[in-house]
Amino acid sequence: MPLLSRRKTPSVRIGRLQMGADHPVVVQSMTDTPTADEAATWAQTVALIEAGAEMVRWTVNDDAAALAAVRVISRLRSSGIETPIVGDFHFNGHLLLEKYPDLAGALDKYRINPGNVGRGLRHDENFARIIAVAVRHKKPVRIGVNGGSLDQEIHDRIARETPDLESPNRAREIMVRAVVESAVESARYAMELGLPLERIVLSAKMSSVDETIDAYERIAAACDHALHLGLTEAGGGMRGIVGSTAALAVLLRKGIGDTVRVSLTPEPGIPRTREVEVCQEILQSLGLRDFVPSVVSCPGCGRTQSVLFQELARDIRTHVSRRMPEWRKIYPGIGALRIAVMGCVVNGPGESRHADIGISLPGAMEDPAAPVYVDGKRVALLRGNAIYAEFTGLLEKYVAGRFGK
Ligand code: SF4
């Protein structure tokens, strides 16, 4: 089934970045450093940007964070780094944005959670004060609803209005309806307050893949706002990556989503940039963006000459990673490169022909020779101990010829 056409959304300007409409789906991430720790926030922000984050969010939770944010943004801009910085506000966003006009002006976007702006009459008043600052500074706002901090009044009202379905799904239905209503109604109120459609982004994150998909589909059907996709409290490691991938892939495949963040619980030894890598892999695997060359390799099986195949697949991936910093600078479009490293004659020649450049290693019991294919044609037959060196030589020649023009 081909990718369904992208949902129509307005083009949203965030600093120098454009998202929504026909712009590429934007990769973003969020620091986990205390924003008041300027050195740590600077270092992690730069690392995320170097890894490919196109927008970075910081928590802005108190005076110290507000003042530090202004200084770090100034340092980023004077270093020539224009990546948009988003301020994440909860509970006191109206106070901080009014108290620090430099902060309101320096941030490229504000993120607010309608479940965390106050209760009762205070809710609308505080929300309106934040929107007024955004209107004054011409800044976009993400209205980010989160299942874990849902506006309780909306939840309770939806619960009263939802008939007793005698269904085990009643609680789920109430939750999804409440999340959707909170997002859509908050956006409607922001527009009444003067924030235009093209300065509003919505998100509706939940910790369940199924509920997240359902909520985003309903929001997409109910309004035209640009959408930020993500699964909240996704967890860490394999669970977080698989859960986020499952939710985002289904939505993106339906043309829903203008920017993505994969939220992973920090783990010792795993850099924050893993979030960016996962976003890039999701978008690239769906054919929506090209970030790094793809190395297609088979899983290997009883026909593989295991050691040679495993080592070559690993070494070619390493070669690509090592060369990418330079390739990225001198070869625009290098992310579209497709390389195949296959383990035997069964699928090797076919997959290698489909790649831009591919090598099919000899399986057990086969003639110990490795055909190399370039743009579908066999160009060499490699043998012996120099296979890696000769193949990477052909790879470099191909890259220079195709991307160096
Ligand atoms: S290409 Fe050959 S070695 Fe690789 S998985 Fe298929 S049969 Fe096994």
User: What confidence score (pLDDT) does residue 166 get?
Assistant: 67
- Classified as helix, coil or strand, 109 is strand
Q: Ligand 1 pocket check: which of 296, 297, 298 to mutate, most ligand atoms within 8 Å of Cβ?
A: 298
∠ CA(383), CA(384), CA(386), 5° rounding?
95
* 7 part of a folded domain: no
Atom nearest to 348 CA in ligand 1:
1
Q: Is the CB of 298 under 6 A from ligand 1?
A: yes
The strand pairing partners of 341, in sequence order, are 297, 359
Give the CA angle between residues 400, 404, 405 to the nearest 5°.
130
How many A from CA of 356 to the centre of ligand 1?
Answer: 19
Parallel, antiparallel, or unpaired: how do β-strands 200-205 and 226-229 relate?
parallel
Q: Is 231 in the pocket of ligand 1 (CB under 6 A)?
A: no
Answer whether 358's CB lies under 8 Å from 351's CB. Answer: yes
Per residue in 222-281, pLDDT (tens digit) is: 999 999 999 987 788 999 999 999 999 999 999 999 999 999 999 999 999 999 999 999
Please indicate whether residue 335, judged by its CB atom, sits closer than 6 Å to ligand 1. no
Whether 185 is in a domain gets the answer: yes
Residues present in the chain in total: 405
Q: Examine residue 6 and state whether it is found in any structural domain, yes or no.
A: no
Q: CATH code at 322?
A: 3.30.413.10
Query: Distance from CA of residue 237 to its chain's centroid?
Result: 16
Q: Are 140 and 219 in a shared domain?
A: yes
Instruction: For ligand 1, say whether the CB of 197 is within 6 Å of any of its atoms.
Output: no
Note the pTM of the prediction, 2 decimals: 0.92
**Among 307, 312, 345, 346, residue to substitute to test ligand 1 (most atoms within 8 Å of Cβ):** 346
Q: Is 346 in the pocket of ligand 1 (CB under 6 A)?
A: yes
Name the residue of 303, 309, 360 whose CB sits within 8 Å of the most ligand 1 atoms, as the mutation to test its pocket.
303
Clarify whether residues 166 and 257 are in a common domain.
yes
The answer to whether residue 188 sits within a structural domain is yes
The reply to whether 217 and 152 lie within a common domain is yes
Residue 1 belongs to a domain: no
Question: CA torsion, points 108, 45, 58, 233, in degrees to nearest 10?
Answer: 120
Residue with CA closest to ligand 1 atom 1: 347
**Residues 254, 376 within the same domain:** no
* Residue whose CB lies within 8 A of the most ligand 1 atoms, among 296, 297, 304, 345, for a mutation test: 304
Place of tokens 């160096």: 404
Give domain status of residue 3, yes or no. no
Neighbours of 121 (CB within 10 A): 8
Alpha carbons 67 and 72: distance in angstroms, whole number? 9
Is 276 contained in some domain? yes
Separation CA 397–CA 226 (nearest Å): 42
Residue ID of nearest Cα to ligand 1 atom 7: 346
Same-domain status, 298 and 382: yes
Residue 87's Cβ-side half-sphere holds a number of Cα atoms within 13 Å equal to 33
- One domain, residues 273 and 188: yes
pLDDT of residue 327: 95
| CATH code assigned at 183 | 3.20.20.20
285 CA → ligand 1 middle, Å: 21
Q: How many angstroms separate the CA atoms of 314 and 311, rounded?
A: 5
Q: Whose CA is nearest to atom 2 of ligand 1?
A: 344
> Is the shortest distance between the CB of 299 and ligand 1 below 6 Å?
yes
Whether residues 270 and 321 share a domain: the answer is: no
- Distance (Å) from CA 387 to ligand 1 centroid: 19
Same-domain status, 388 and 280 = no
Domain final residue pick, 253, 285, 317:
285
Residue ending a domain, among 223, 253, 285, is 285
305 CA to middle of ligand 1, Å? 10
- Based on the domain organization, do 73 and 172 belong to the same domain? yes
Indicate whether residue 347 lines ligand 1 (CB < 6 A).
yes
Segments in the chain below pLDDT 50: 1
Largest Cα–Cα separation, the chain:
79
Look at residue 3 in the predicted model and tell me its pLDDT: 58
Q: Examine the domain organization and report whether 154 and 106 are in the same domain.
A: yes
Contact 300 CB / ligand 1 (< 6 Å): yes
- Ligand 1 neighbour 348 (Cβ under 6 A): yes
Give the domain-ending residue among 238, 268, 285.
285
Residue 351 domain boundaries:
294-400
Domain count, the chain: 2
Same domain, yes or no: 338 and 229: no
Q: Which of 310, 347, 359 to mutate to test the pocket of ligand 1 (most atoms within 8 A of CB)?
A: 347
> Which ligand 1 atom is the nearest neighbour of the CA of 363?
3
Ligand 1 contact via 342 beta carbon (within 6 Å): yes
The alpha-helical segments, DSSP class H, found in 90-208 are 93-99, 101-106, 121-137, 152-161, 170-192
203 and 248 inside one domain: yes
